[in-house]
Structure 1
């Protein structure tokens, strides 16, 4: 049986999705256009192996958002990964998606020395 997750769409609706996600949905999740949430719409927190009791807590400001990258993508990564990174760094999903990959790397990437 497939695992079911819940995603908040661009319009705010909560949608049940079976894993694995279709590629277009997965790409929108990586870009930050969709958010993984609990069935009731509260923020989803990935349970850690250290303390599974924290699963229902709301993330602190600046905390990692499930589905978005923790580290800067490689320069050769796909644009969707760079859009997700730009969202982590404070851009809106729409703003980041409207930029070229080169612009995203220039604005949100670590400068080359």
Structure 2
């Protein structure tokens, strides 16, 4: 049986979705255009991963789910310069950008505007 999660859409509606998510939905979730919530509309809080489950691994700032895990939101650390544009859009949204505006920017513009200056 598939696990069901709940997402708040761009218009504010709550939608039940079975995992794994279709790629376009997963991409919109990663970009911050959708928000994972509980069935009652309250914010979803990811339960802490136990040592037997394995914590989420990160490669170059991108979220890489461990076995049986699903990416549930935008990256929490700055993506590497060679990360995908989708990762940079998610990073921009985490840092206050409008999701639609960030999606319309080029990857180079996102890096220029939202990357941390090197020391």
Same fold (TM over 0.5): yes
Q: Distance in 1 between matches of 2:84 and 2:19?
A: 21
Structure 1, gaps ≥5 residues long: 51-65
1:70 partnered with 2:76: yes
* Structure 2 residue 96 is matched with structure 1 residue 90: yes
Query: Structure 1 residue runs of 4+, over 3 Å off?
Result: none
Structure (1 or 2) with the greater helix fraction: 1
Larger strand percent: 2
Distance of 1:111 and 1:98 partners within structure 2: 23
**RMSD in angstroms over aligned alpha carbons?**
1.5
Name the counterpart of 1:10.
10
Q: Matched residue pairs, number? A: 98
Q: Distance in 1 between matches of 2:5 and 2:98?
A: 23
Q: Structure 2: which 5+ runs fail to align?
A: 51-71
Q: Normalising by the residue count of structure 1, what TM-score does the alignment of the two structures yield?
A: 0.80
Question: 2-side partners of 1:49 and 1:81: how far apart?
Answer: 22
SS at match of 2:87: helix
